[in-house]
């Protein structure tokens, strides 16, 4: 039987993976790689769920900005709605181990997200808007990759 269909009918228990569990501080042996074909074969329904999560978070952040001011609305710019959706989908389509691995990566991603906000706050008004966004995005990528390299890539 198809593994994915089977998992949908019988969702896995919290920890049924037979894969060796890595602790958060343990390095990952596999080198990072990008498979464009795999990305293009992504499940459209899963992408629709993520689109809805992203759109809803953006709108809620905008409404909060209108009601309570930009500082309060800004907090929602880092609301983990997408991570909630991703973890739930990964857990259902793959297993609990893969969901935990994804969440471990998001710890470094969260630190990088904070760096994005700090860099943007420091630079906006001193450089043009698009340049500030670009520098903040580069800072996010640099911190995310730097943390991954330092913590887990051997």
Partner 1 sequence: MPGDYVVSPPGNTFERMHNILTLAAKGLCGGLLVVAFALLSEGLSPKRFAGLFGAAPSVAIAGLSITLIAQGVPDAHKDTIGMIAGGIGMTAYAAAVVPLLRRWGAKRAASGALTAWIAAAIAAAIPLLLT
Q: Judged by CB under 8 A, does residue 98 bind partner 1?
A: yes
Please say whether the beta carbons of 89 and 102 come within 8 A. no
Q: Which residues from 78-97 bind partner 1, rule CB under 8 A?
A: 78-84, 86-88, 90-92, 96
DSSP state of 26: S
Q: Judged by CB under 8 A, does residue 16 bind partner 1?
A: no
**Among 16, 118, 131, 138, contact with partner 1 (rule: CB under 8 A):** 118
Count of residues that interact with partner 1, criterion CB under 8 A:
93
**Greatest CA separation found in the chain?**
59
Q: Which residues from 38-67 bind partner 1, rule CB under 8 A?
A: 38-40, 42, 46-47, 50-59, 61-63, 65-66
Give the whole-angstrom CA distance, residue 101 versus residue 125: 38
Least distance (Å) between residue 2 CB and partner 1: 19
Please say whether the beta carbons of 96 and 14 come within 8 A. yes
Please say whether the beta carbons of 79 and 61 come within 8 A. yes
Q: Judged by CB under 8 A, does residue 30 bind partner 1?
A: yes
């Amino acid at each position: 039987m198809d593994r994915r269909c089977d998992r949908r009918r019988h969702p896995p228990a919290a920890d049924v993976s037979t894969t060796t569990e890595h602790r958060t501080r343990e390095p990952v042996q596999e080198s990072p790689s990008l498979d464009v074909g795999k990305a293009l074969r992504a499940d459209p329904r899963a992408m629709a769920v993520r689109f809805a999560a992203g759109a809803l978070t953006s709108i809620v952040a905008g409404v909060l900005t209108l009601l309570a001011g930009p500082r309060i609305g800004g907090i929602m710019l880092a609301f983990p709605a997408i991570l909630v959706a991703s973890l739930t989908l990964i857990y259902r389509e793959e297993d609990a181990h893969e969901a935990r691995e994804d969440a471990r990566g998001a710890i470094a991603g969260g630190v990088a997200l904070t760096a994005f906000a700090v860099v943007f706050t420091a630079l906006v008004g001193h450089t043009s808007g698009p340049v500030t966004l670009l520098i903040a995005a580069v800072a996010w990528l640099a911190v995310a990759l730097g943390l991954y390299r330092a913590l887990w890539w051997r």
